[in-house]
Amino acid sequence: MGDKGKFDRVKYNKIMKRLLVLISVLFLLSGIMVPEVLALKKLEIKEFFTEKSTKSGELATSSATLEIEAITKEDITERESPVAGRLEGYLDEKDPGVLNWKNFLQHSIRGAVEQGVSANTIVLVLLFPLVASLIAAGRHLLGLTGFGIFVPAMLSVAFVATGIRVGMLMFVIIWLTATFSRRLTRKLKMQYMPRMALLMWFISIGVLGVLLGGVNINLGELSAISIFPILILMLLTESFIEVQVGKSRREAFRVTLQTILMAVGAAVIVKLNVVQKSVLLNPELALLIIALFDIYVGKYVGLRALEYLKFKDLMRKK
């Protein structure tokens, strides 16, 4: 029995060696022959579909390019945007007159534009105090909550650059990516700074995926976004994460939603041509009105609009 068992084992080893050699030979032959056959078939299929795909690809590319160009033209934050030409055209509509204390900014703006300063940049700088005033009024008079003044103000500028619909879509994507990444990094038990760096890594990958996906599915609106608003949205992520950490989920969602409402409202006003034209042609008057409005809002000590709604039953009893 022992010799028979030994003989069977040796025979089994020989059979397995032969099978391994046979399999290796077949594998090598398949590696040589099969790719050639497949290459011929792929070539025939490729030639069949090349003509159709080329035409459809050219049409899709041209339409996407036109869409991107059309969206870029509306971006006031781009230095070479045609909006700059429109704003410079406004300057030709009004003669500032003789230089005096009431029009020194108008002369300075025209001189700066002639020296190469973009009219877009000047308008955005003039409009930023207006954005801050609107957000301050929304919080102090209406009773809205949010991430201070800086976060919704920067968010509104990003919405002006991207367009409200595209900016909202990008904001939601970044917010969802940040929320998912926060839950993932929390399990790693990392220190704060490295964890935020890893969070930015996830957000960057998410934004990159959106940009590449927008190109592939012909969403020119996403593909036309410049780096400026993307960086704003990415850098504001830390504020959103801090609110999620320090508040309940419901409270964090409410604060985020009201921040978006204030940013969208300010962006809608800033995008109006009449507003841009007014601050560019009358910068002294515009800055004075904004300053007086801030003082008026700061002097108000009564109930906010939402507080009137909240305590209306109590006020009626009195």
Residues 18 and 128 both lie in one domain: no
283 close to 87: Cβ distance less than 8 angstroms: no
Report residue 150 CA to chain centroid gap.
17
Residues 149 and 185 both lie in one domain: yes
Residues 180 and 285 both lie in one domain: yes
Is position 219 within any domain? yes
Is position 318 within any domain? no
* DSSP 8-state assignment for residue 141: T
- Give the tokens for residue 100: 């005096």
Across the 318 residues of the chain, what is the mean pLDDT of every consecutive 10-residue run?
Answer: 50 61 54 47 49 46 45 53 71 84 89 86 91 91 85 87 83 85 83 86 87 68 72 79 74 84 91 91 93 92 81 72
Q: What range defines the domain where residue 52 resides?
A: 1-73
Backbone angles phi, psi at 173, to 5 degrees: -65, -45
Contacts of 280 (CB under 8 A, 6+ apart): 87, 90, 91, 109, 119, 122, 123, 126
308 close to 147: Cβ distance less than 8 angstroms: no
Residues 55 and 88 both lie in one domain: no
Q: Kindly report, residue by residue over 215-240, the tens digit of the pLDDT.
A: 666 665 666 677 778 888 887 777 77
Residues 268 and 148 both lie in one domain: yes
Is position 316 within any domain? no
Work out the mean pLDDT of the chain and round it to a whole number: 75
Residues 136 and 229 both lie in one domain: yes
Residues 61 and 103 both lie in one domain: no
Name the amino acid, one letter, at 89. Answer: G
Residues 55 and 95 both lie in one domain: no
Percent helix, strand and coil across the chain, each to the nearest 5: 80, 0, 20
Between 249-270 and 150-162, two packed helices, what is the crossing angle to 10 degrees?
Answer: 50
Of the three residues 39, 73, 107, the one that is the final residue of a domain is 73
210 vs 62, 156, 198, 260, 288, CA distance in Å? 20, 21, 19, 21, 42
Structural domain count, the chain: 2
Buried b (16+ CB within 10 A) or exposed e, 168-178: ebbbebbbebb
- Taken in order 144, 145, 149, 155, the sign of the CA dihedral is negative
40 vs 142, 173, 246, CA distance in Å? 71, 43, 63
CA distance linking residue 65 with residue 220, whole number of Å: 7
Is position 301 within any domain? yes
How much is the pLDDT for 292? 96
CA distance linking residue 112 with residue 116, whole number of Å: 7
Residues 111 and 179 both lie in one domain: yes
Is position 78 within any domain? no
Is position 305 within any domain? yes
Of the three residues 73, 108, 129, the one that is the final residue of a domain is 73
Name the amino acid, one letter, at 77. Answer: T
Residues 144 and 283 both lie in one domain: yes
Residues 162 and 277 both lie in one domain: yes
Of the three residues 25, 41, 73, the one that is the final residue of a domain is 73
239 close to 151: Cβ distance less than 8 angstroms: yes
* DSSP 8-state assignment for residue 248: -
Q: Kindly report, residue by residue over 100-144, the tens digit of the pLDDT.
A: 888 899 999 988 888 888 888 889 899 999 999 999 998 888 888
How much is the pLDDT for 62? 46
**For the whole model, what pTM was predicted?**
0.67
Is position 170 within any domain? yes
Residues 38 and 64 both lie in one domain: yes
How much is the pLDDT for 134? 92
Is position 264 within any domain? yes
